[in-house]
Amino acid sequence: MDKGYDTLTEYILIKYRWAFVCVFLLPISLFYDLWFYFRNWIVFKFTSAPKQHDKKVKYVQKQIREWGDHGKNNYMCTARPGWQTVCFRLPKYKNTFTKIEVNLVDILEVDVKNKVVRVEPLVSMGQLSATLNPLGWTIPVLPEIDDLTVGGLVMGTGIESSSHKFGLFQHICVSYELVLSDESLVKCTKEDNSDLFYSVPWSYGTLGMLTAVEIMMVPAKKYVKITYLPVIGEENIAKQFTAVSTDKNNEFVEAIAYSEYEAVIMTGVQTDNAESDKINAIGKWYKPWFFMHVMQILKINSTVTEYIPLRDYYHRHTRSIFWELQDIIPFGNNKFFRLLLGWLTPPKISLLKLTQTDAIKKLYSNNHVLQDMLVPIAILKNSLNIFRETCNVYPVWLCPFILPYNPGMVYPKSRKETLYVDIGLYGVPKVKNFRAFEDMKKIEKYVTKVNGFQMLYADTNMTKEEFRKMFDHTLYDKVRRKFKCEEAFPEVYDKVSRAARL
Ligand X SMILES: Cc1cc2nc3c(=O)[nH]c(=O)nc-3n(C[C@H](O)[C@H](O)[C@H](O)COP(=O)(O)OP(=O)(O)OC[C@H]3O[C@@H](n4cnc5c(N)ncnc54)[C@H](O)[C@@H]3O)c2cc1C
**Identity of the residue numbered 296:** Q
Taking the complex as a whole, the smallest distance from the CB of residue 70 to ligand NDP amounts, in Å, to: 18
Stretch that binds ligand LAN, among 46-54, 194-202, 209-217, 422-430 (CB under 6 A): 422-430
> How many CB atoms are closer than 10 A to CB 119?
26
What is the C-alpha to C-alpha distance for residues 370 and 110, in angstroms, rounded to an integer?
A: 35
Confirm or reject binding of residue 313 to ligand NDP (CB under 6 A): no
Residues 16-75 that bind ligand X (CB under 6 A): 33, 36-37, 40-41, 43-44, 49
Confirm or reject binding of residue 124 to ligand X (CB under 6 A): yes
* Member of 90, 159, 294, 325 binding ligand NDP (CB under 6 A): 159
The entry of ligand NDP, ligand LAN, ligand X, none near residue 90 (CB within 5 to 8 angstroms by kind) is none
Taking the complex as a whole, the smallest distance from the CB of residue 499 to ligand X amounts, in Å, to: 33
Taking the complex as a whole, the smallest distance from the CB of residue 452 to ligand LAN amounts, in Å, to: 14
What is the C-alpha to C-alpha distance for residues 271 and 221, in angstroms, rounded to an integer?
A: 5
The entry of ligand LAN, ligand X, ligand NDP, none near residue 309 (CB within 5 to 8 angstroms by kind) is none
310 vs 92, 112, 282, CA distance in Å? Answer: 38, 19, 10
Tell whether the torsion through CA atoms of 292, 294, 298 and 304 is positive or negative. positive
Confirm or reject binding of residue 314 to ligand NDP (CB under 6 A): no
* Member of 25, 148, 265, 359 binding ligand NDP (CB under 6 A): 148
Confirm or reject binding of residue 344 to ligand X (CB under 6 A): no
Region for 114 from its dihedrals, namely left if φ exceeds 0, alpha if ψ lies in -120 to 50, beta otherwise: alpha
Stretch that binds ligand X, among 103-111, 154-162, 274-282, 390-398 (CB under 6 A): 103-111
* Member of 25, 57, 87, 107 binding ligand X (CB under 6 A): 107
Give the single-character DSSP code of 348. Answer: P
Tell whether the torsion through CA atoms of 184, 188, 193 and 197 is positive or negative. positive
What is the C-alpha to C-alpha distance for residues 347 and 329, in angstroms, rounded to an integer?
A: 10
* Residue (143 or 342) nearer to ligand NDP, CB: 143
Give the single-character DSSP code of 347. Answer: P
Taking the complex as a whole, the smallest distance from the CB of residue 153 to ligand NDP amounts, in Å, to: 6
* Residue 169: φ, ψ to 5°: -55, -40
* Member of 32, 59, 88, 337 binding ligand LAN (CB under 6 A): 88
Stretch that binds ligand LAN, among 6-14, 172-180, 269-277, 347-355 (CB under 6 A): 347-355
What is the C-alpha to C-alpha distance for residues 294 and 169, in angstroms, rounded to an integer?
A: 26
What contacts 264, CB < 8 A, 6 or more positions away?
228, 229, 230, 231, 255, 256, 258, 294, 295, 297, 298
Strands 218-219 and 209-216: unpaired
* Member of 13, 64, 102, 440 binding ligand NDP (CB under 6 A): 102
Question: Which spans of this chain sit near ligand X (rule: CB under 6 A)?
Answer: 33, 36-37, 40-41, 43-44, 49, 106-107, 110, 124, 126-127, 130-131, 134-135, 146
